[in-house]
């Protein structure tokens, strides 16, 4: 049994963590810690979790011998300090994305975890998105032949962009870049096109990040200027092609006060993928590929296996560091537009 405590009680904890562990026999949620000044923000949800101890005393959590794992769900700037504090207290840590601001800081945290003999991992749960799992299934089937091109799009239409400051890469690309790395491994080469469309010089609201693998290529794309349904994934191989509809954004969904219940229902048929390929007889085959539900519980499957049985983590340290290196480089490119604006202004 792994006993868990959460730092933070926002949407992430309530919708992407607790619902995926609350009915497990191998995990028990004991605490939610939040600072005194943060209590009012989500206090109305607390009565729906009577089995959890809510506290403003972090030492109570870190000093409890029963607690094995502490999960950090806070604003980004607190991720590294909390992770180090948790590890120093002898607890395993799961940290929300982005794991750290820089690859260097991430390496320091991983080194501390290794020194202490503890598990520390980011919550890269979107490796287990339903649509991404469908892409993996198609690639593993071999029906596409050898991979030639993979496009990953996560687009919006927002007339004022996403942020009026740098941050889109660290909040969106952190997931999609990780998906590519987890699927294809470390790229042989990269090329980054990052722009500031709505807030020149201070924002990163458009990017096209390219990853080269031998004779194949993958790209991660986000734009705030897409007003049509652009496919979420498009994959081309030597024998066929596959495409999936765009993601349905949850950002505008109204929140209902209460205990969140996850859906295990598959996606409706209009959200399924389309696979077209040449079979061994030379004929053209068209198939609809079902899209199931997300399996974010697999992050916890991996943590339990690592903590209790010494198995390898599903998100490897070197993958985390490479993703952060990519985000750093791409963000620097976005920031370079500021200098260009000064020169031309």
- Answer whether residue 254 shows pLDDT above 90: no
pLDDT tens, 108-134? Answer: 999 999 999 999 999 999 999 999 999
Q: Tokens 């029906």 label which residue?
A: 143
pLDDT tens, 185-217? Answer: 999 999 999 998 998 878 899 999 999 999 999
With bands split at pLDDT 50, 70 and 90, how would you rate the model's confidence at 336?
A: confident
pLDDT at 123: 98
Average pLDDT of every residue of the chain: 94
- Answer whether residue 253 shows pLDDT above 70: no
pLDDT at 338: 56
Quickly list DSSP for 248-271.
---TTPPP-SS------PPPPGGG
Residues 109, 114, 117, 122, Cα dihedral to 10°: 50
Tokens of 42: 């989500």
Quickly list DSSP for 86-112.
HHHTT-EEEEPSSS-SSHHHHHHHHHH
- Answer whether residue 154 shows pLDDT above 90: yes
107 exposed, middle or buried (CB, 10 Å; 0-12, 13-18, 19+)? Answer: middle
Q: Do 321 and 186 form a contact (C-beta atoms < 8 A)?
A: no
Q: Do 319 and 182 form a contact (C-beta atoms < 8 A)?
A: yes
pLDDT at 73: 97
Q: Is 45 helix (H, G, I), strand (E, B) or coil?
A: helix
pTM: 0.95
Among 174, 206, 179, smallest CA distance to 102 is for 174
- Average pLDDT on 309-331 reads 97
């Amino acid at each position: 049994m792994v006993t868990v405590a959460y730092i933070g009680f926002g949407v992430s904890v309530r919708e992407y963590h607790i619902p995926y562990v609350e009915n497990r026999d191998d995990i028990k949620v004991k605490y939610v810690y939040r600072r005194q000044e943060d209590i009012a923000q989500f206090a109305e949800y607390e009565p729906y979790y009577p089995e959890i101890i809510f506290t403003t005393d972090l030492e109570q959590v870190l000093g409890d011998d029963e607690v094995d794992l502490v999960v950090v769900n806070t604003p980004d700037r607190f991720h590294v300090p909390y992770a180090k504090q948790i590890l120093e207290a002898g607890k395993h840590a799961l940290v929300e994305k982005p794991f750290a601001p820089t690859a260097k800081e991430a390496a320091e945290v991983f080194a501390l975890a290794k020194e202490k003999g503890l598990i520390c991992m980011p919550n890269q749960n979107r490796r287990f998105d339903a649509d991404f799992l469908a892409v993996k299934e198609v690639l593993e089937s071999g029906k596409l032949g050898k991979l030639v091109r993979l496009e990953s799009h996560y687009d919006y239409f927002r007339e004022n962009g996403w942020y009026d400051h740098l941050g889109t890469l660290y909040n969106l690309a952190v997931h999609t870049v990780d998906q590519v790395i987890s699927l294809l491994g470390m790229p042989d080469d990269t090329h980054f096109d990052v722009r500031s469309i709505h807030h020149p010089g201070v924002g990163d609201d458009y990017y096209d990040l390219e990853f080269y693998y031998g004779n194949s290529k993958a790209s991660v794309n986000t734009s705030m200027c897409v007003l049509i349904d652009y496919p979420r994934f498009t994959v081309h191989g030597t024998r066929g092609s596959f495409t999936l509809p765009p993601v349905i954004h949850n950002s505008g969904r109204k929140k209902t006060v209460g205990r969140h219940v996850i859906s295990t229902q598959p996606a409706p048929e209009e959200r399924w993928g389309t696979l077209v390929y040449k079979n061994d007889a030379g004929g053209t085959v068209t198939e609809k590929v079902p899209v199931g539900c997300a399996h974010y519980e697999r992050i916890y499957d991996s943590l339990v296996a690592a903590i209790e049985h010494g198995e390898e983590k599903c998100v490897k340290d070197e993958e985390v560091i490479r993703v952060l290196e990519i985000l750093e480089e791409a963000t620097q490119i976005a920031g370079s537009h500021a200098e260009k604006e000064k020169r031309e202004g």
